[in-house]
């Protein structure tokens, strides 16, 4: 059995779909936090801090739970952070910056026991090598998929794959927003075997 009820600190449909793949029951709630970067804060520090703060923001609402917080930041080679674009013009600018470049996506992950305050954390890196993109390709992509709520202005699980020449990293799920390999490692550290739990759930049906 899951030692404590599981909560995903996110309203993202992408993260929900990823966590559902583990076939574990969970609730989800949207944490209200300020996601602004601190002065001279690195991408790794930012994404790790925000993942922790998202989980902590739900600690009072879910006082005896395991809370999963996750946040993603994309950074160019010079360290410049790429946020969620929010609109077409910003997304165009971001993809022009990414064209022909390697972009590192950093996904922070926190598992918080809200009763004890115990916490596990990691930052999962994943490198994306972009093809050299024409303005027409960028426009066609953005107007087809409208990925304005995604860091880096693309959706890995959709047409965004056509933007890349190469991918490098341990867990491609981290590009979508939730590093499942790392999360399974955390569950096992705290005594939950995801495979055994999924097997038990399937046999109850």
Percentage of residues of the chain with pLDDT beyond 70 = 99
pLDDT digits (tens, 9 = 90+) for 91-138: 999 999 999 999 999 999 999 999 999 999 999 999 999 999 999 999
From the list 158, 47, 24, the residue with the least C-alpha distance to 105 is 47
- Residue-wise pLDDT tens digits, 3-55: 899 999 998 888 999 999 999 999 999 998 877 777 778 889 999 999 999 99
Residue 109 has a pLDDT of 98
Residue 3 DSSP one-character state? S
78 is a catalytic site residue: no
71 in helix, strand or coil? Answer: strand
Q: Which of left, alpha, beta for 169 (phi over 0: left; psi -120 to 50: alpha)? A: left
pTM comes to: 0.89
CATH for 6-204 is 3.90.950.10
CA-to-CA dists, residue 110 to 4, 77, 175, angstroms: 16, 25, 16
Instruction: Name the strand (E) or helix (H) holding 103.
Output: strand 102-113
In the chain, where are the structural domains located?
A: 6-204
Q: Give residue 77's pLDDT.
A: 85
Catalytic site residue from 71, 135, 149, 193 = 71
Q: 54-104 pLDDT, tens per residue?
A: 999 999 999 999 999 999 888 998 888 888 899 999 999 999 999 999 999
pLDDT, tens only, 143-195: 999 999 888 898 877 899 999 999 999 999 998 889 999 999 999 999 999 99
Q: Which residues contact 133 (CB under 8 A, 6 or more apart)?
A: 95, 96, 98, 99, 100, 163
List Cα–Cα distances, 78 to 102, 179, 181, 187, in angstroms: 10, 24, 28, 35
Nearest Cα neighbor of 182 from 47, 31, 3, 28 is 47
């Amino acid at each position: 059995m899951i030692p404590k009820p599981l909560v995903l600190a996110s309203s993202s449909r992408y993260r929900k779909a990823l966590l559902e793949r583990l076939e574990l029951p969970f609730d989800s709630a949207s944490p209200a936090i300020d996601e602004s970067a601190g002065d001279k804060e690195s991408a790794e520090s930012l994404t790790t801090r925000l993942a922790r703060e998202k989980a902590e923001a739900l600690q009072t609402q879910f006082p005896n739970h395991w809370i999963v917080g996750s946040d993603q930041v994309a950074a160019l080679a010079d360290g410049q952070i790429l946020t969620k674009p929010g609109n077409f013009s910003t997304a165009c600018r971001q993809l022009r910056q990414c064209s022909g470049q390697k972009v590192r996506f950093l996904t922070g992950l926190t598992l918080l026991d809200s009763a004890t305050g115990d916490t596990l954390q990691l930052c999962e890196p994943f490198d994306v090598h972009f093809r050299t993109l024409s303005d027409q390709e960028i426009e066609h992509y953005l107007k087809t998929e409208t990925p304005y709520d995604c860091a880096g202005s693309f959706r890995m699980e959709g047409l965004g794959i056509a933007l890349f020449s190469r991918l490098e990293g341990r867990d491609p799920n981290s590009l979508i927003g939730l590093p499942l390999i790392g999360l399974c490692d955390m569950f096992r550290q705290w005594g939950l075997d995801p495979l055994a739990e999924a097997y038990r759930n399937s046999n109850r049906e």
